[in-house]
Amino acid sequence: MSKDVIIACDFNSKADLMTFLDKFENEDRKPFLKVGMELFYAEGPAIVKEIKARGHKIFLDLKLHDIPNTVKKAMAVLSALDVDICNLHAAGTAAMMEAALEGLTRADGTRPLLIAVTQLTSTSEERMQNLLIDRPLDEVVMHYAKNAKDAGLDGVVCSPLEAGKVKAVCGDAFLTVTPGVRFADGEVGDQVRVTTPAKARELGSDYIVVGRPITQAADPVQAYHRCIREFLGGEVE
């Protein structure tokens, strides 16, 4: 996969999602979409199938974190939905990540990309200390990323501010999927570790995940095009 902008479709109903997607009906380029817990829990697996039928790539963002056997079985179910990227929490241990890969791999050997969440972009060192994680945030993220790579995963979810450091530790081929991206003239919202689309590319992000700056924009299509220009330098691959 080449670099891309992923729109976070954090809607709570199919109706709201389709109203949003209809705005892109005349676009030659179908946006890459993130389906998270809110939409998936509201509409179930059927919404994923419907979005795929419309020609969109999907990052299914459910952040699994459970015992290895449970995650393995859940990933087998998600793999059948033919999504492009799945994720889980790196904190679930190497055994859980390895089990997830087993479940995700289909009989023909194919599978979606699997990435691990390191630390959420709403997390700060102060909040980590409340969980008795007393190491520096960067050190924790790099440790989780290295564990994910060693377990055979394709990449991690991290802040764009950490993307370059992850590449240095895990190699250029290891994917960095980065939320916490806002336009320079936009609101930060509930994110802590944020940057702009252009800076995210400069820092080493492979995919940026952008929600409200696009979905809540007065003109979502224009906002998406702006994000593409700023992150891809005008290139549409």
Give the model confidence (pLDDT) of 67-77 as tens digits: 999 999 999 99
Which of 31, 93, 85, 81 minimizes the C-alpha distance to 61? 85
Question: In this predicted structure, which of 59-68, 73-82, 188-197, 217-226 has the lowest mean pLDDT?
Answer: 188-197
**CB-based burial, 181-210: b 16+ in 10 Å, e otherwise:** bbbeebeeeebbbbbbbbbbbebbbbbbbb
Q: Which residues are CB-contacts of 119 (< 8 A; sequence separation ≥ 6)? A: 128, 137, 140, 141, 144, 158, 159
What's the Cα-to-Cα distance from 86 to each of 34, 106, 110, 192, 217, rounded to whole Å? 10, 14, 13, 24, 27
Query: How many beta carbons lie within 10 A of that of residue 122, not counting itself?
Result: 14
76 SS3 class: helix
Please give the positions annotated as active site: 63
Tokens encoding 60 = 């299914």
Question: Is there a contact between 114 and 96 (Cβ–Cβ < 8 Å)?
Answer: no
Structure tokens, 66: 């459970």
Taking residues 7-26, what's their average pLDDT? 95
70, exposed or middle or buried, with CB in 10 Å at 0-12, 13-18, 19+? Answer: middle
By three-state DSSP, how is residue 197 classified? helix
Q: Provide mean pLDDT across the span 21-36.
A: 93
Structure tokens at 218: 């007065």
Least confident of 87-101, 146-160, 180-194: 180-194
In the prediction, which pLDDT does 136 show? 75
Which pLDDT score is estimated for 232? 93
- pLDDT, tens digit, for every residue of 89-118? 999 999 999 999 999 999 999 999 999 998
HSE toward the beta carbon, residue 197, CA cutoff 13 A:
26
Q: SS3 for 28?
A: coil
pLDDT score, position 46: 97
| Two tokens, residue 202 | 């400069």
The pTM score is 0.90
Per-residue pLDDT band for 235 (boundaries 50, 70, 90) equals very low
**118-122, 161-165, 184-188: which has the minimum mean pLDDT?**
184-188
- Cβ-based neighbour number of residue 68 at 10 Å: 18
Residue recorded with tokens 């109903």: 13
**Band of the pLDDT at 27, cuts 50, 70, 90?**
confident
